[in-house]
Each structure stands twice: as C-alpha cells, then as structure tokens.
Amino acid sequence: MDLYWGSVVTPMGGALLVGSRQGIQRLWFEDTAQGVTLAGCQRADGRAQAVFASLMSEPATTVEQFDVQGTAFQRQVWQALLEIPLGMTTTYQVIADAIDRPKAVRAVANAIGANPIAYFIPCHRVVRSDGGLGGYRWGVERKRAILDWERDRVSRAA
C-alpha cells in the first residue's frame, strides 16, 4: 500500500503526516508524537509538504479525499465537520442535528475524538454548548491558537 510519512511545518508547529496514494491517513503534532511508530512507511518529506500545502490552499470538502478508516457513523460526523466554514465554530448538538441524530451528542463527541487527521478534518471548530472550548487531542491552548489563526486568516481575506 505505498505508505509514506513526512515532517511538515504548520502554523501551529511541526507535524508528522502519514499518507498513501488515496490520501492522508494520520497526523500528529511533533510535540505529541511520542510512541508513534512509522514502520512500513517510506520517508517522503517533500511529498508530505506538497500534500499539506495543497490542503492548506484548497481544504478538503469530502471525507473521501482522505485515506481514513472509520465506521459509517464516524465518517458521517467527519463529513459534517468538513462543512464548518473556516474561522467558525459550532457545537456537538448542531453536528448531531446536522446528521439527523439529535440524541447522539455523546456518540458525536466520541466520533470527533476518533478523528485521525484532526487538523484537516476540523474537529477544533466544535465547542461546548456554553461556548467553552472543551477538550482537544493536542490541548486547549493549541485549539485556541488554531481557531485564532483561522479567524485572522478569514479577516485578512475579507
């Protein structure tokens, strides 16, 4: 399956990206990648940087643009995340409503937490119903920084 990995530079710090011909499979920020094994992957920093740059200039619109594994429910939630505009936030309840599962808020939160490429499938754009940031795989400070960076990008484009 021609897996590759590479180091990329993001606005939030260095990251490791794993991908295949079908798309990105995993992403970790370097400061949280302890214990990550990349056996069976060929190092290809240039390829990883090119994929990263492409997704930064033209964000994905469908889950099928990635090579991520998940249940049908998880993929449905991840697709809903891709529909949240850059610089905007929404709540777990709104995502549950959007996929016609209004009582599945906890399951939605679990699916969001299982997202293997959280930077590109933007789970950081989901906040608690009280407006609090809630949790984030890479810490609330990084979540806040990503959201601030996105809002700044949107305001500069306006």
How far apart CA 26 and CA 10 sit, in angstroms, is 15
Beta bridge partners of 126: 90
Contact indicator for 11, 56 with CB cutoff of 8 Å: no
Q: Is 123 a catalytic residue?
A: yes
Domain ranges, ordered by start, for the chain: 4-58, 64-157
How far apart CA 16 and CA 31 sit, in angstroms, is 10
pLDDT in single tens digits along all 158 residues of the chain = 589 999 999 888 899 999 999 999 999 888 876 667 788 899 999 999 999 999 999 999 999 999 999 999 999 999 999 999 999 999 999 999 999 999 999 999 999 999 999 889 999 999 999 989 988 888 899 999 999 999 999 999 87
Note the pTM of the prediction, 2 decimals.
0.92
Instruction: Give me the CATH topology for the region 64-157.
Output: Arc Repressor Mutant, subunit A (1.10.10)
β-pairing, 90-91 with 13-20?
Answer: unpaired
Packing angle, helices 105-113 and 72-82, rounded to 10? 80
Q: Say which of 17, 77, 112, 123 is annotated catalytic.
A: 123
